[in-house]
């Protein structure tokens, strides 16, 4: 496997702020500690200054992430006596669903502080803002003055020096799985999480899990096994997949899904990777299905609750910045930084890195700029900037700089590009480069190889796809009375685009796609009085490569030797699990959970064994 150093890119990434947030957020201040006595005194003074309230029950509404958020607030003459969120549709696991998410946490804090001026939850600031705005409206309706209310801060559960057997950095699917198995292995566990909520990229995902040979497949008459899944995934290797790591995951994928089910993850059904491929092996969690997002909380909420029940200490708004090593080079802890700038030293006997990838780092993503100019359409949290890679490389870890990544080209106005639309797709140069009916990542890979910073779905009114037809009605869709005119509007060579359309129509008429092998039933000619171009912009979610691990999830050094005390799982360590193309939905989450479990189990065995030896 070819490995290249990320040293220069990683060094540049050091200047990035470690106070991260999600796709739906802007950076926010972390929780600041103030004594309860000081806050109580401030509350009393502010209530007097506000002049009291007109007793009663009031309703306020504001716009959240997924729609309106409605609250009901009850006042007596001098105080707020109850705050209830009565209606909302916020993302499960981010906006609601846990004791730390805004729907549950903010009303309690506002009631305790008698104020609307509480900290937003980092990672869920849109939901936080909606709740605060709705309650503020109620305060004003009751005759109060929200601007005169005090600030109220929840004291974080963090100290300057903390100690545990196992330190886990990151609370996404991999980190939570590692924390659970480590705790079940007898270890005392601390998890540090950059945001104010758990879940990472998984919570924002469609909540899909890849597995073979499961009861869900049997229920839907899908005959499958680990060998078939292994063969399919290996077909995407390009010499980059580690056969042993992939074999482990495939062999244990059904058991991996059962493990999640036993923790409360509910599987809804199984669906195909692409309608052209059988057997179906993408397992949807409840509410999911198709190309959806925001259902990953069906995985991360049960994992979070299980970790809490096992006594795992989750420290929020805290980012790892440096690994601590002993005189022999073994990793024994983490130096971290809170959102308000405090340094925390976490001492342990083993560390698991589960910090996610680097899709939100402009510096690390710069090498993809030929076809991915800014990755502004990424769905990952803004805190995914590769800090786990930076920390590990500083202690001698081997980092693989993969040219592949989970890439899609999609219209962010109508959705064309991810729902098996099968019309003519051209590169920015006006050339056809792929069988458009193939899996979305395969289409994206062909456009990546063409170094195309944008793609266009060329259509006329005869396209049978309803998503395309909707796209044709939008003002943002470029249209023209001829192919030549359309090319001019797209800054393409008219001769190139005309030749592409003519060739495509010729293939449609013959019924055989000699160029790319698209099935005849999906070959619809581009003909009509008006020609349209729906822009498809590239965006990346998961990044491939990263830290190199072995079958025990131990991080390897540049000599392929394990670094004592250091483990990794999930997107930070996808080396060996992917080629250059994302093979199917559910692979990232499924493998993150699986290798997270292995990392936690082995980290606990090391830590508990060391403790026993002492």
Element (H, E) at 562: strand 562-568
Q: Are strands 68-75 and 80-87 parallel, antiparallel or unpaired?
A: antiparallel
Q: Return mean pLDDT, the chain.
A: 91
Residues 433 and 317 in one domain: no
| 320: in domain | yes
What distance in Å separates the CA atoms of residue 92 and residue 299, rounded to the nearest whole number?
10
pLDDT tens sequence across 452-504: 999 999 999 999 999 999 999 999 999 999 999 999 999 999 999 999 999 99
pLDDT at residue 18 is higher than 60: no
Q: Name the β-bridge partners of 271.
A: 282
Q: Which pLDDT score is estimated for 181?
A: 98
Residues 198 and 282 in one domain: yes
Q: Which pLDDT score is estimated for 202?
A: 96
Structural tokens at position 78:
């001098």
Greater model confidence, 418 or 300: 300
Q: Name the β-bridge partners of 537.
A: 410
Residues 174 and 263 in one domain: yes
108: domain CATH number is 3.90.1010.20
Contacts of residue 148, defined as CB under 8 A and 6 or more positions apart, other chains included, come to: 46, 49, 50
Collapsed DSSP state (helix, strand, coil) of residue 482: coil
Residues 261 and 381 in one domain: yes
Q: Which pLDDT score is estimated for 42?
A: 52
Choosing from 517, 540, 563, the residue where a domain stops is: 540
What distance in Å separates the CA atoms of residue 350 and residue 82, rounded to the nearest whole number?
45
Q: Which pLDDT score is estimated for 28?
A: 33
Collapsed DSSP state (helix, strand, coil) of residue 542: strand
What distance in Å separates the CA atoms of residue 200 and residue 303, rounded to the nearest whole number?
12
Collapsed DSSP state (helix, strand, coil) of residue 397: strand
pLDDT tens sequence across 34-75: 444 455 555 555 555 445 899 999 999 999 999 999 999 999
User: Number of folded domains in the chain?
Assistant: 3
Residues 127 and 92 in one domain: yes
pLDDT tens sequence across 516-547: 999 999 999 999 999 999 999 999 989 999 99
pLDDT tens sequence across 338-372: 999 999 999 999 999 999 999 999 999 999 999 99
| 157: in domain | no
Residues 87 and 192 in one domain: no
What distance in Å separates the CA atoms of residue 107 and residue 81, rounded to the nearest whole number?
11
Residues 396 and 410 in one domain: no
| 19: in domain | no
Q: Which pLDDT score is estimated for 31?
A: 36
What distance in Å separates the CA atoms of residue 29 and residue 245, rounded to the nearest whole number?
40
Residues 536 and 558 in one domain: no
Q: Determine the structural domain holding residue 524 and report its residue range.
A: 406-540
Give the model's confidence band at 611: pLDDT under 50 very low, under 70 low, under 90 confident, else very high: low
Q: Which pLDDT score is estimated for 10?
A: 29
Question: Residue 48: how many CB atoms within 10 A of its CB?
Answer: 11
Residues 268 and 126 in one domain: no
DSSP tag of 557: B
| 344: in domain | no
pLDDT at residue 29 is higher than 60: no
What distance in Å separates the CA atoms of residue 116 and residue 109, rounded to the nearest whole number?
9
Give the model's confidence band at 17: pLDDT under 50 very low, under 70 low, under 90 confident, else very high: very low
Residues 56 and 82 in one domain: yes
Give the model's confidence band at 7: pLDDT under 50 very low, under 70 low, under 90 confident, else very high: very low
Residues 562 and 535 in one domain: no
| 22: in domain | no
Give the model's confidence band at 111: pLDDT under 50 very low, under 70 low, under 90 confident, else very high: very high
pLDDT at residue 612 is higher than 90: no
Distances (CA, A) of 99 to 202, 406, 474, 484, 572: 18, 32, 41, 58, 27
Residues 94 and 214 in one domain: no
292: domain CATH number is 3.50.50.60
DSSP tag of 11: H
| 172: in domain | yes
| 464: in domain | yes
| 493: in domain | yes
Give pTM, 2 decimals: 0.90
DSSP tag of 96: B
523: domain CATH number is 3.90.700.10
Structural tokens at position 230:
């292994």
């Amino acid at each position: 496997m070819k490995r290249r150093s990320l040293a220069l890119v990683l060094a540049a990434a050091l200047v990035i702020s470690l106070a991260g947030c999600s796709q739906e957020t802007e950076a926010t201040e972390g929780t600041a500690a103030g004594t309860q006595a000081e806050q109580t005194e401030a509350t009393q003074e502010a209530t007097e200054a506000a002049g009291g309230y007109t007793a009663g029950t009031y309703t306020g509404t504001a716009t959240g992430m997924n729609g309106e958020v409605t609250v009901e607030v009850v006042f007596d003459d001098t105080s707020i006596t109850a705050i209830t969120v009565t209606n909302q549709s916020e993302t499960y696991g981010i906006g609601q669903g846990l004791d730390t998410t805004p729907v549950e946490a903010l009303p309690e804090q506002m009631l305790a502080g008698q104020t609307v001026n509480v900290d937003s939850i980092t990672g869920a600031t849109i939901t936080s803002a909606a709740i605060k705005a709705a309650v503020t409206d109620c305060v004003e309706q009751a005759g109060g003055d929200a601007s005169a209310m005090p600030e109220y801060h929840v004291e974080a559960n963090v100290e300057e020096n903390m100690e545990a057997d196992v330190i886990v950095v990151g609370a996404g699917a991999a980190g939570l799985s590692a924390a659970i198995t480590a705790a079940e292995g007898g270890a005392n566990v601390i998890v540090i999480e950059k945001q104010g909520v758990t879940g990472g990229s998984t919570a924002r995902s469609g909540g899909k899990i890849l597995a073979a040979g499961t009861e869900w497949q049997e229920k839907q008459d899908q005959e499958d096994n680990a060998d078939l899944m292994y063969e399919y995934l290996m077909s995407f290797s390009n010499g980059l997949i580690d056969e042993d790591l992939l074999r482990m995951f495939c062999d244990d994928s059904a058991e991996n899904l059962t493990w999640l089910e036993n923790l409360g993850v509910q599987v809804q059904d199984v669906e195909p990777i692409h309608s052209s491929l059988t057997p179906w092996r993408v397992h949807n969690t409840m509410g999911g299905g198709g190309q959806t997002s925001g259902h990953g909380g069906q995985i991360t909420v049960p994992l979070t609750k299980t970790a809490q029940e096992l006594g795992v200490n989750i420290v929020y708004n805290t980012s790892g910045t440096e690994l601590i090593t002993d005189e022999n080079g073994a990793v024994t802890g983490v130096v971290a930084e809170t959102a308000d700038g405090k340094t925390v030293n976490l001492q342990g006997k083993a560390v698991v890195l589960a910090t996610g990838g680097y899709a939100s780092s402009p510096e690390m993503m710069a090498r993809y700029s030929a076809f991915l100019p800014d990755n502004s359409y990424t769905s990952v949290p803004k805190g995914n900037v590769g800090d786990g890679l930076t920390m590990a490389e500083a202690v001698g870890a081997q980092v693989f700089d993969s040219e592949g990544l989970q890439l899609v080209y999609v219209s962010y106005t109508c959705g064309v590009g991810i729902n098996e639309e099968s019309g003519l797709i051209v590169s920015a140069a006006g050339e056809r480069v792929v069988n458009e009916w193939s899996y979305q990542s395969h289409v994206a890979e062909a456009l990546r190889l063409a170094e195309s910073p944008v793609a266009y779905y060329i259509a006329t009114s005869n396209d049978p796809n309803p998503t395309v037809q909707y796209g044709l009605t939008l003002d943002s869709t470029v249209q023209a009375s001829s192919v030549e005119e359309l090319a001019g509007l797209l800054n393409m060579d008219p001769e190139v685009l005309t030749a592409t359309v003519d060739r495509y129509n010729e293939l449609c008429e013959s019924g055989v796609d000699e160029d790319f092998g698209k099935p005849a039933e999906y070959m619809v000619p581009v003909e009509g009085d008006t020609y349209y171009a729906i822009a498809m912009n590239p965006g990346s979610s998961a990044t491939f490569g990263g830290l190199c691990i072995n079958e025990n999830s131990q991080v390897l050094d540049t000599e392929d030797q394990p670094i004592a005390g250091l483990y990794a799982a999930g997107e930070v360590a996808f080396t060996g699990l992917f080629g250059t193309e994302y093979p199917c939905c559910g692979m990232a989450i499924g493998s993150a959970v699986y290798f997270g479990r292995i990392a936690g189990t082995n980290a606990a065995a090391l830590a508990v064994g060391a403790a026993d030896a002492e």
